[in-house]
Structure 1
Amino acid sequence: MSGLIFYYGPMGAGKSTFALQTQFNQRQQGRAGLLVTNRDRSGNAQVTSRIGLESEAELIDDDTDLYTLVSSRHETDALDFVICDEAQFLTPAQVEHLARLVDVEHIDVFAFGLLTDFRSRLFPGAARLVEIADEVHRMQAIVLCWCGAPAILNARIVDDRMVRSGEVIAVGDTASGPVSYRALCRKHYVDGRIGR
C-alpha cells in the first residue's frame, strides 16, 4: 500500500541526510525511484547534506507539474517511490500532485522539509503536506539552540543580526554568507538572541 509521508524538522535535523538514506534503503530492496529537489543549498541538480552526502537529483521549480513528470517516467520505467527534498518549497498544487501519484499511480512518496519559515509561519507546501499526508513525522535528531535547549525554530541571520522581514525564500546555509540560518529555541527566537 503506497503512501505520502512527510518528515519535517528545524535546520540541522538531518532531513536531507535521511532523504538520501531513504533512497539508499529503497534501492537496496530493488525498488526504483526518483529523487527530486527544489532549491537545494548547492544550487545544482542534486540533494546535498551538511555532513557531506550528496546525490544527483531532478531539479524542479514552482512551475513543474510533478504528476506529469513522474507519471510519464513511470510509463517507461516503472517507479516504486519518489523522494522530494526541500518539500517546504513545493506549491500546494505540487503537494496535490504528490498525493495523486500515491492514489492513482500507487507510488510511495517521501517528502522532507522545514515546517516553518524564518518568521515562524508555515510554508504553504509544508502546510498542505500536514493537511493531506498519510503520515507526518517530526525528525528526532537532537538540534540544540546555543543555550543548550532544544531548537525548534529557524532564525534568518543577516550581518550577524536576526531579521524578521524580507522575502520568504532566501536560500542559505548555516555557514558564513550573506544569508545564514540558525536553529533556536522558542525563547531565544522570540527574544532575537542568536548567541551568547
Structure 2
Amino acid sequence: MAQLYFYYSTMNAGKSTHLLQSAYNYSERNLKSLLYTAKLDDRFEQGKIASRIGLHADASLFDVNTQLFDEIKRENNINKIDCVLIDEAQFLSKAQVKQLTDIVDGLGIPVLAYGIRTDFLGETFSGSAALLAWADKLVELKTICHCGRKANFVIRRDENGNPVKDGEQVEVGGNERYEPLCRAHFKTLVWT
C-alpha cells in the first residue's frame, strides 16, 4: 500500500544522501523512480540532487506552478512509476502537498519527501507544515549541534558570521550561511 513519507530535519542531517540511497535501491531492483528538486535551489546545478558526501543524481524541477499530480500521472501512463522522491520539500506549496496525497491515494505510488522542518527563525515552512499534517509516516533524520546535543533548529549567518534575526524566509545557501543548532543554542543566538 502506497504512503506519503516526510523525512525532515535541520540542514546537514543527510536528507539528500538518504533520498539518493532510496533512489538507488529502487533502481537496483529495476523499479522506476522519479526524482524532483526545487528549481530555486541552484547551489550545485539545476536539475541535480547532490549530497555533501559526493552522491548526485538528475532530477526534474518543481516551482510553485508545477502541477505534480498531472506530471506524474502523465509519466505513469507512459512508463509505470514505482516511487516519487522529492528533495527540498519545504519549498512545496500546500496545494502541491495535497497533490502528493492524490498521487499516493489515487495512483497508488509511494512518495518520499525530504525537507527542512523550520526556517532560520524557527518558523515552519508551508510545505513542511502540510507534510507534517498530512503525511502517513514522519521520520526525523538527526544531526548534532556543535555542543553534541541533537540539532533541531538552524540559524542563518550574515557575511560577518553574526546570526540573522529577520529577513526573507527563503535564502538559498549551504554551510557558509547556515548552521544546525540545538534549541538551547538557537534560543541564545536568535531569541535574545
Q: Tell me the TM-score range normalised by the shorter chain.
A: over 0.9
Identity of aligned residues (%): 38
The SS at the match of 2:156 is: strand
Q: Does 1:166 align with 2:163?
A: no
Q: Does 1:74 align with 2:76?
A: yes
Unaligned 5+ segments in structure 2 are: none
Cα shift at 1:43: 4.4
TM-score (norm 2): 0.94
Show the counterpart of 2:179.
Answer: 182
Structure 1: distance between partners of 2:120 and 2:54: 24
Show the counterpart of 1:114.
Answer: 116
Letter in 2 for 1:47: I
Unaligned 5+ segments in structure 1 are: none
Structure 2: distance between partners of 1:162 and 1:84: 29
Show the counterpart of 2:23.
Answer: 23
Structure 2: distance between partners of 1:124 and 1:130: 10
Greater CA drift, 40-49 or 60-69: 40-49
Structure 2: distance between partners of 1:124 and 1:72: 26
The count of corresponding residues between Structure 1 and Structure 2 is 187
TM-score (norm 1): 0.92
Structure 2: distance between partners of 1:138 and 1:101: 23
Q: Does 1:61 align with 2:58?
A: no
CA RMSD of aligned residues (A): 1.2
Cα shift at 1:144: 2.0
Deviation per residue, 1:16-68 (Å, 9 max, x gap)? 00000000011112211100001343241110111111100001111101001
Correspondence list, 1:10-159, <5 A: 10-38=10-38, 39-40=40-41, 41-140=43-142, 143-159=143-159
